[in-house]
Structure 1
Amino acid sequence: MQALIFAVKEINSDPNLLSNITLGFQVFDTCLTLRKAIQATLQIMSGRKEITPNYHCYKDSPLAAIIGDSESTGSILMAQILGLKRFPQISYFATNPMLSDRGLFPSFLRTIPSDEFQMNGLAQLVLHFGWSWVGVLASDNDYGQYGLQMVKQEIIHGGACVAFSENILTAQPNRNAPHLVQIIAKSTANVVIVITSDVDFVIVLEEILRQNVTGITWVASEALATSDLLSKERFREILLGTIGLAIHSGNLPEFSKYLNSLHPVEHHHDLFIREFWETIFSCYWPYQNTLVTLLNSSTVQTCTGKEKLESLPTDKGHRVSLNVYTAVYAIAWALQNLLTCKPGTGPFADGSCASISTFQPWQIPLSKCSPSCSPGFRQMIVPGEPLCCYDCARCPQGHISNQTDAVECHPCSWDTWPDLHRIKCVPKTTEFLSFEEPLGYGLTSTVMISSPIPLFILGIFICYKKTPIIRANNYSLSCLLLLSLFLCFLCSLGFIGYPQPEMCLLHQVSFGMVFSLCISCILAKTITVIIAFKATKPGSGLRKWTGVNVSYYVIGFCILIQLFLCVIWLIFSPPFPEYDTDTKPGIIIVVCNEGSPTAFWCMLGYLGVLAVISFIVAFLARRLPDSYNEAKFITFSMLAFLSVWVSFIPAYLSARGMYTVAMEVFAILSSSWALVVCIFVPKCYIVLFKPNVNSRKHLLGKRGPM
């Protein structure tokens, strides 16, 4: 903290750096707790004691940057918050390698190397002395755990082995020290690497003293290697021969003078100086609340204020202090560059510059060959250019990137799809012929309107069944045909809605069976007409075939063939629901896979064969006398039926998604209406509106000579 204050005062007194600009500062104590670190961060961003998210009340001067935290865990949490608004953050002691990720922490900087260098150095140190059997102790925070992983990897890669790796549990008062010391004592490894802070390791040292474990060579990380706490006399026998890595130390003579000038009497309002004085001289100021403790303890030394800071070594404290000092100057020079920026040569849009009094946190200028690739894009190497120079390419279809300067894009899962900006994967839209869709709703309404028509005609036939026109057209077969047409209209409903397994299993089969019954009835009617006409000739042997049994035999035979095909289909390759993710990008088409395309086309082809036979037979019988004019109507109905289904085949093969199902439903409704209109509408017209024609005399009168 004193290094920060000293650097700010030094910059403000320098006429060549930020002239006419005064740097201010505000200090928050995190107390080495994450809660305090987050609370202080939010207070800094809000600009006042009360925390107000997404609001700041800096009236006079903007917030230039934040220096801290000292710990990696706290720095990570702070960087996640500060990075949202691109507030610059410079840590002087956080070494976690994850903080180097500019995608995750876009505004985080530091004046201390990453642990990647330190852990590699610790491993090289071990390998240099030929130690091939070592143990590792690490604190259970980010600093210790990342360091543990990296140092183990480097040691094993170098050909040595790790005897044990244990965690110092920082949440426990005893730091799990009894267990750790037992592990160390039982192990045959004489070298132990320690990756933790002095505050946590000193508790382990106390337990080592208690259990009298000696003969260990300690290899310390930078957080421990230069600690004053571990240079105490009582630990000397245990730590004798300890080696480790240290942060770079610099010579700050003016800062040493500044520290020596500090005194609690002159800064009686500054509690931090009093605490510093107590720590550095191992004494206590006689506060009222500690007076009793001091009187009862003969070993506690009282601070007098006559202690001399000049008598203490000054180089040890300048390691971390130098990092803080450097961080302050980094901010000052960034502001100096902002102050001296000339319009037209600035780093922002159209060469503009930021204002020194109203700059935004994301405006400390960058020097890059290529602009950063925003999320949704990836870096693309430019041939012949350095790696730092690249183009930004949009992520390909089905891929996303959710960080800045992504090297590659990642594919979404089969049931998700990139959003509009290709930053995140969102669930794919499900498509099927729904009852709520306009197309599905229209087809359903058509079915509801159409299906009662055959029943209405059936009612007319029942009411007028004794009239000549009804009797002459095979009343029983007509009734059966009308019922089958009613089922034809209804079976189309099975194609609409979410494709359930049961629906997929039955809708094509039910369609095939119902239409087989329908066309079989038409074929039977046609054959009956021909037999009835031929049987009237003298000496004809067809008189015995004029009963209704022949019609039922024809119908039963035709249906059995279709039933056989459908049963074989359901047994060996039944239809099933399928998720089609390839036809339409970003959409899951839920369809019924027919199982066996061969079986489907055989079923449909058999209906075509029946229709062709019915058409041929009816066409040959079209010139029968008018009283037996059923054949003419059947000819037209089969012609319309075949036209619909011949047109259906190319449309079905070219359609995709729910339109494939809609095409089949449309074909079912169209062909059913063709049969109703061509066969039954003329008869209903005569029965209802031309009763004078509906007479035996009229029918016989129109009959031509035999």
Structure 2
Amino acid sequence: MDTRELRFARAMVFAIEEINNSSDLLPGITLGYQILDSCASVPVAVELAFQFANGLQQLYDSKKGCVRSGRVTAIVGESGSTPTISMSRIIGPFDIPQVSHFATCACLSDKTQYPTFFRTIPSDQFQADALAKLVKHFGWTWIGAVRSNSDYGNNGMASFLRAAHKEGICVEYSESFYRTDPQSKIQQVADVIRRSTAVVVVAFTATGDLMFLLEELTRNPSSPRQWIGSEAWVLDQLKRVNFSRNGYHVSFDANGDPVAFYELINWQRNENGVLEYVTVGHYDDSLSLGQKFTIRRNISWADGGMKAGRTIH
């Protein structure tokens, strides 16, 4: 079971309840929801998209003693870019808006192909630029790169490689794989990493894919590597969404994308040896050029050392 997807679903339920209990977000409107599991499968995602396009099943309202059918006004999801693309191509012609919380492929910003798509996570184009600046800042000009063999990984890595080239960063290798590949393929990618001289690896991979690669690497560990990892209406109305909640601002640009904002997370062990996720900095694309990228806390490196951070201009 993917507990992260469960957390996403619970977050959506929480958000809907917040909206229904609020007097200023959608006054006079009550939202309902139905949660379906795509199992991270493109064929299942396509099947569910057709179900949504055909309308919901009839529901029995015990309070009113009647049967009613709901109408889908928007779809939240998918998490992966490839299933999201498949769903968007089906529901787009029906003018059903789709809002994804985790599909980051830059290709989804093309409104000619995905006219009803929105997302609350920035496009990978912004992430690729931020990653390239991060790598350049620490003087890593000789790196390796791995990616998921999917729309997310292939498009994201292509954007990163272009940004890295502009920053003068050289890439020793760029390998792709997918979690359903034969073990021999994943072992081949692991062997490339083991033989390489680059001590920094940039990974544009889904969590489910990276897990298989890391497990293979632990079977025959090489020298330590520093890993850098990547993240009609509820239709015209969505284009005008603009509100703040719990300290976060929500709005969409002309491509259906939000303003890019990333927390830079570093895995650190506390005094008890327990691994913690520590926010060491931020990347905020809404700020001026010299203020976008900021590191304010110490960073734990692959060799166990700590290095102080600083504001980057």
TM-score exceeds 0.5: yes
CA distance, structure 2, for counterparts of residue 204 and residue 232 of structure 1 = 23
The residue aligned with 1:38 is: 46
1:169 maps to which of 170, 178, 182? 178
Alignment pair present for 1:124 and 2:124: no
The residue aligned with 2:71 is: 62
The residue aligned with 2:102 is: 93
SS in 2 for 1:176: helix
SS in 1 for 2:113: coil
The residue aligned with 1:151 is: 160
Q: 1:246 to 1:174 in 2, by over 3 A?
A: farther
The residue aligned with 1:141 is: 150
Q: 1:124 to 1:32 in 2, by over 3 A?
A: same
Once the two structures are TM-superposed, the CA of residue 20 in structure 1 deviates from its matched residue by 3.9
Larger radius of gyration: 1
Letter in 2 for 1:141: S
Letter in 2 for 1:185: R
1:219 maps to which of 228, 251, 258? 228
Structure 2: gaps (5+ residues): 1-8, 59-66, 232-261, 285-313
Once the two structures are TM-superposed, the CA of residue 226 in structure 1 deviates from its matched residue by 6.0
CA distance, structure 2, for counterparts of residue 217 and residue 205 of structure 1 = 13
The residue aligned with 2:84 is: 75
SS in 1 for 2:212: helix
CA distance, structure 2, for counterparts of residue 101 and residue 16 of structure 1 = 32
SS in 2 for 1:134: strand
Once the two structures are TM-superposed, the CA of residue 169 in structure 1 deviates from its matched residue by 2.7
Letter in 2 for 1:198: T
Q: 1:168 to 1:175 in 2, by over 3 A?
A: farther
Between 1 and 2, higher relative CO (CA 8 Å, sep ≥ 6) is seen in 2
Letter in 2 for 1:44: F
Q: 1:63 to 1:243 in 2, by over 3 A?
A: closer
2:202 maps to which of 193, 197, 200? 193
Q: 1:31 to 1:245 in 2, by over 3 A?
A: farther
Once the two structures are TM-superposed, the CA of residue 243 in structure 1 deviates from its matched residue by 11
CA distance, structure 2, for counterparts of residue 17 and residue 60 of structure 1 = 25
Q: 1:167 to 1:4 in 2, by over 3 A?
A: same
Once the two structures are TM-superposed, the CA of residue 99 in structure 1 deviates from its matched residue by 0.6
Answer yes or no: is the 8 Å Cα contact 2:78–2:102 preserved in 1.
yes
Q: 1:186 to 1:5 in 2, by over 3 A?
A: same
Once the two structures are TM-superposed, the CA of residue 48 in structure 1 deviates from its matched residue by 4.2
The residue aligned with 1:84 is: 93
The percent of aligned pairs where both chains have the same amino acid is 36
SS in 2 for 1:159: coil
1:363-404 deviations in Å (ceiling 9; x for gaps): xxxxxxxxxxxxxxxxxxxxxxxxxxxxxxxxxxxxxxxxxx
CA distance, structure 2, for counterparts of residue 116 and residue 110 of structure 1 = 14
The residue aligned with 2:216 is: 207
Q: 1:15 to 1:129 in 2, by over 3 A?
A: closer
Q: 1:17 to 1:178 in 2, by over 3 A?
A: closer
The residue aligned with 2:238 is: none
CA distance, structure 1, for counterparts of residue 281 and residue 94 of structure 2 = 36
Q: 1:49 to 1:34 in 2, by over 3 A?
A: farther
Letter in 2 for 1:109: F
Q: 1:30 to 1:12 in 2, by over 3 A?
A: same
The residue aligned with 2:20 is: 12
1:452-499 deviations in Å (ceiling 9; x for gaps): xxxxxxxxxxxxxxxxxxxxxxxxxxxxxxxxxxxxxxxxxxxxxxxx
Once the two structures are TM-superposed, the CA of residue 244 in structure 1 deviates from its matched residue by 10
CA distance, structure 2, for counterparts of residue 209 and residue 187 of structure 1 = 16
CA distance, structure 2, for counterparts of residue 124 and residue 130 of structure 1 = 10
1:2 maps to which of 7, 10, 13? 10
Answer yes or no: is the 8 Å Cα contact 2:179–2:212 preserved in 1.
no
SS in 2 for 1:193: strand
Letter in 2 for 1:43: Q
Structure (1 or 2) with the greater strand fraction:
2
1:24-60 deviations in Å (ceiling 9; x for gaps): 111111111111111111111112469xxxxxxx955
Once the two structures are TM-superposed, the CA of residue 155 in structure 1 deviates from its matched residue by 1.4
Letter in 1 for 2:115: P
* Pairs within 5 Å for 1:340-489: none
Once the two structures are TM-superposed, the CA of residue 171 in structure 1 deviates from its matched residue by 2.3
Answer yes or no: is the 8 Å Cα contact 2:179–2:208 preserved in 1.
no
Once the two structures are TM-superposed, the CA of residue 204 in structure 1 deviates from its matched residue by 1.3
Q: TM-score, normalised by structure 1?
A: 0.31
* Pairs within 5 Å for 1:623-642: none
CA distance, structure 1, for counterparts of residue 213 and residue 118 of structure 2 = 33
Q: TM-score, normalised by structure 2?
A: 0.66
CA distance, structure 1, for counterparts of residue 73 and residue 283 of structure 2 = 27
Aligned length: 233
Once the two structures are TM-superposed, the CA of residue 126 in structure 1 deviates from its matched residue by 1.2
Structure 1: gaps (5+ residues): 51-57, 249-706
Answer yes or no: is the 8 Å Cα contact 1:218–1:243 preserved in 2.
no
Once the two structures are TM-superposed, the CA of residue 111 in structure 1 deviates from its matched residue by 0.6
Q: 1:61 to 1:198 in 2, by over 3 A?
A: closer
Once the two structures are TM-superposed, the CA of residue 214 in structure 1 deviates from its matched residue by 2.5
Answer yes or no: is the 8 Å Cα contact 1:168–1:175 preserved in 2.
no
Answer yes or no: is the 8 Å Cα contact 2:56–2:72 preserved in 1.
no
